Amino acid sequence: MTEMRELLKEIYPLRLAPVSADTDRAIERLHREIGGTIHEYPSGRDVNGWVVPQKWEVKRAQIRRDGRLIYDGTAHPLGVIGYSSSFHGTVSLDELKRHVYYHKQLHDAIVYHYKLYYRNWESDWGFCMPWNLLKTLKPGDYDIELETVHEPGTMKVLEAVAQGRSNETITFIAHDCHAAQANDDIAGVVAGVELIRRLRDMDTHYTYRLLVGPEQFSSVCFLADLPPEQRTRCRYGIYLETLGHDNRFALQESFNSDSEIDHAARHFLEIRHPESYIAPFRQVIGNDETVWEAPGYEIPTISFSRANPVTDGLPYPEYHTEYDNEDIIRQDKLEDAVEAVLGILRILEDNRVATRNFEGLIALSNPRYDLYLDAPADPAFSLDIPDLQRRWFGFLVRAMRYFDGSTTVLEMARRHGLPFEEVLEYLRRFEKKGLIDLHPVARRSAGVGNNGFKHRRPAGVQT
């Protein structure tokens, strides 16, 4: 078993692309780590206009002037634009600049260029280099030797599963096609690997799937080929993204923002990580959630990351540059991310409804029950009552009305701003006294129309 950061260090420096020899090596390495199934989709496969690219490699990428090497694009995986075509010839400085890309803020960084991944009908050649180098080039002629290979191949996608008691499935998605980008998204990949590894040792209701492959293409092809009966069992998706750097968590809600996983994730972060940023669909960072939420699938898919919101510009300062490397990745941040996702999943796994076995008002302070929680703000005792105690008492005086067979423990906890697991434990005391029965939440069929979770926003009622 390889530590997450160490596994990341093996994979992110590779010359990753949607279809390349190094992407194949990455998938093979992950398969050795957790097993699973490697799906293959041939170049040219077309699903709704999404066309699997050809296998692409860079053989030679040099810029020379008067025989002197100015730049070698093979020295760094970002040195040549993704899916560049070949070019051999002599060009002026002005023409060369039209084929060189650089970062507008980080002038000493090599930028990541991926546009041609998704436009196989276009052809262009180009380099990525730091602005600080480009600006030193003098007018004159430059000799370009750029040799790339485009040939048929197969896009490889890893599917790893932790089987639960049911076949209702929650899917983790992460991508592996960004060359030399540690946080975007090999950090998400290794977090997904660790999640599957731990979930395999747990007794769960849900089955959990990890899908690792090129951004968009892998989800498009996987879902297109998934038999309808399996697709209907896809309950939720969680996109794992940019989880390794030092920043607070960010939750991007599903399309309708009203599914059970939305409520579980919001509640967990509000209680355990109140500094977290929560935003609507596509307002933090964009990835394959658009595929899983597409018409006909409509699988509620949240994104869990440490990205800054879109209104802040870049998700993090090193984004899509050579500085997105192992230096910004912290093992403790990856561990915290895995624990946070597991915390969200525990809510989904343990969520219950309560049905009462009594009528009328129970004297909870009676020793027969011993379920009473001290009331706040009694001048005979103290006026200095902690807010948490007020919230607990506010729950206590309403709890018996919640034992209706439809109000979930998660709804109770969210309404009163209390930790889910503590509310559940308190209700288990009622169950031991024979006052209620706790039942798993009636889970609606997954797939189309899967956003039917009964929604009650926290009322802010304290007493």
Q: What are the beta bridge partners of residue 151?
A: 55
Confidence check: pLDDT of 445 > 50: no
**CB of 30 closer than 8 Å to CB of 189:** yes
Nearest to 319 by CA among 148, 182, 163, 458: 182
Instruction: Give the pLDDT confidence score for residue 384 in this predicted structure.
Output: 52
Over residues 349-405, the pLDDT tens digits come to: 999 999 999 999 999 999 999 999 875 555 544 555 578 888 999 999 999 999 999
Q: Is the predicted pLDDT of residue 455 greater than 70, yes or no?
A: no
Note the pLDDT of residue 388. 87
**Does 113 score more than 90 pLDDT?**
yes
Give the range among 11-15, 20-24, 347-351, 453-457 with minimum mean pLDDT: 453-457
pLDDT at 158 exceeding the cut of 50: yes
Q: What is the pLDDT at residue 443?
A: 62
Instruction: Output the pLDDT for position 376.
Output: 53
Q: Which letter does DSSP use for residue 450 in this model?
A: -
Q: Given a cut of 60, is residue 175 above it in pLDDT?
A: yes
Whole-angstrom distance, CA of residue 250 vs CA of residue 285: 9
- Determine the average pLDDT of the residues in 6-12: 98
pLDDT of res. 173: 98
- Residue 242, pLDDT score: 98
Confidence class of residue 427 from pLDDT cuts 50, 70 and 90?
A: very high
Mean pLDDT value of segment 213-234 = 97
Q: Is the pLDDT of residue 67 over 50?
A: yes
**Which of the following CATH numbers is that of domain 55-151: 3.30.830.10, 3.50.30.90, 3.90.420.10, 3.20.20.140?**
3.50.30.90
Task: Name residue, tokens 């939305």.
Answer: 262
Single pTM value for the model: 0.92
Mean pLDDT of the chain: 93
| Parts of the chain belonging to CATH 3.40.630.10 | 4-52+162-349
pLDDT at 463: 31
Distance, CA of 374 to CA of 386 (rounded, Å):
12
Q: What is the pLDDT of residue 450?
A: 45
Residue identified by tokens 């309708």 is 256
Per-residue model confidence (pLDDT) at position 448:
43
Mean pLDDT of 109-114: 97
Please tell me the number of Cα atoms within 13 Å of 256 on its side-chain side.
Answer: 20
Where are the CATH 3.50.30.90 domain residues in the chain?
55-151
Q: In what order do the strands lie in the sheet with 436-440?
A: 404-408, 352-356, 436-440
Tokens coding 38: 């490697």
Residue 301 has pLDDT above 60, yes or no: yes
Is the Cβ–Cβ distance between 314 and 245 less than 8 Å? no
pLDDT 10s digits, 309-325: 877 789 999 999 999 99
Nearest alpha carbon to residue 354 among 418, 426, 417, 414? 426
Report CA-CA distances (Å) from 438 to 40, 403, 405: 45, 9, 9
Give the model's confidence band at 208: pLDDT under 50 very low, under 70 low, under 90 confident, else very high: very high
> Domain 4-52+162-349 adopts which CATH fold?
Aminopeptidase (3.40.630)
